[in-house]
Amino acid sequence: MELRQLQYFLTVVEEANFTRAAARLHLAQPGVSAQIRQLERELGQPLLDRSGRTVTTTTVGEAVVPFARAALAAIAGLRQTVDEFTGLMRGQVTIGLVSGAATDEFDVAAVLADFHDDHPQVEISLTENTSEWMLTTLLRGELDLALIGLANEDPPPGVSLQIVIDVPLVAAMAPDDPLLTLAGRTALPLAKLAGRPLISLPRGTGLRGVLERACTQAGFQPRIAFEAAAPHLLARLAARGLGVAILPELPPEAAAELGLRTRPLTAPGLRGRVALAWRTDGPAAPAAKALLARMRKAFPTAHSSQA
């Protein structure tokens, strides 16, 4: 009996189909079938029922499944223990990243590249999506850690956070927007945006959640005219007079380069926060634990900056 035969068997059980199992294993289907038949001959009993449209386990096969899983888990644990003693780290880490979080000041790529240089046997998988999706995926165990935008003050149960960006949100608009005359050089009450075309990140992002909650608190529903995942595109749309963009605070010179004027928002004030998130019980794999520690050190807890 070989470990690969147990792996092939479990993959067919999970996929309920030889073709899909072979594709997942990156092998030819006849080879997978042959190895499982060899395993069945050695055990003296059929493990799979191939007579229907989908492949199912026989009574014996169903009884074998937990032992096959335990055997593969034991081997994985053995390898992990040896690797820890030899200083070699291997495995896979999956990371989620909210759009627009990677900037020159917040260089995620550099942290991942340095980690890869130190641990070349670790495979890093990076995906970009909304914060809402990443929180759900993180809790399901499909992500090890994520950089998310926060829509609420408190994290959902089961998630720990380290806030790494905490800045005021501002209204950004073209230089000839009449709101500038209304606000002068002071802050702009959020209620003044009622009925105005707004430009925002998509629904499911932390910034959008903050905006919608604040507008409800101010007594109106935001009129979202344009949405995009890239903050720079939001700024360009606003600079062309297509609406008022809700953006993290910009230095005056940066806003001027983009052709924008900005005003702080009040009643209520809005803040944009990005956090490093992970399951409270922590990543199980040593590689994920090591990368989490590396990122927590690279991106320390942010102190709130005031508008």
| Tokens at 143, concatenated | 């992500």
Q: Are 100 and 205 in contact (CB under 8 A)?
A: no
CATH 3.40.190.290 residue spans of the chain: 92-307
CATH architecture entry for 3-86: Orthogonal Bundle (1.10)
List beta partners, residue 246: 171
In tens, the pLDDT along 35-63 reads 999 999 999 999 999 998 899 999 999 99
Cis amide linkage into residue 189, ω under 30° from 0 = no
Spatial distance between the Cα atoms of 184 and 173, rounded to a whole number of angstroms: 13
pTM: 0.65
Spatial distance between the Cα atoms of 173 and 50, rounded to a whole number of angstroms: 65
Which CATH code for domain 92-307? 3.40.190.290
CATH 1.10.10.10 residue spans of the chain: 3-86
Q: What is the pLDDT of residue 122?
A: 87
Q: How confident is the model at residue 183 (pLDDT cuts 50, 70, 90)?
A: low
Q: Are 92 and 123 in contact (CB under 8 A)?
A: yes
In tens, the pLDDT along 69-118 reads 999 888 877 876 766 655 546 678 999 998 766 555 678 889 999 989 88
Q: How confident is the model at residue 307 (pLDDT cuts 50, 70, 90)?
A: very low
- The CA dihedral of 30, 32, 36, 39, to the nearest 10 degrees, is 110
Query: What would you measure as the largest C-alpha separation in the chain, in angstroms?
Result: 86
In tens, the pLDDT along 260-304 reads 999 999 878 889 889 999 999 877 778 888 899 999 999 888 765
In tens, the pLDDT along 216-267 reads 999 999 999 999 888 889 999 999 999 999 998 888 888 889 999 999 998 7
Give the count of beta carbons closer than 10 Å to the beta carbon of residue 12.
26
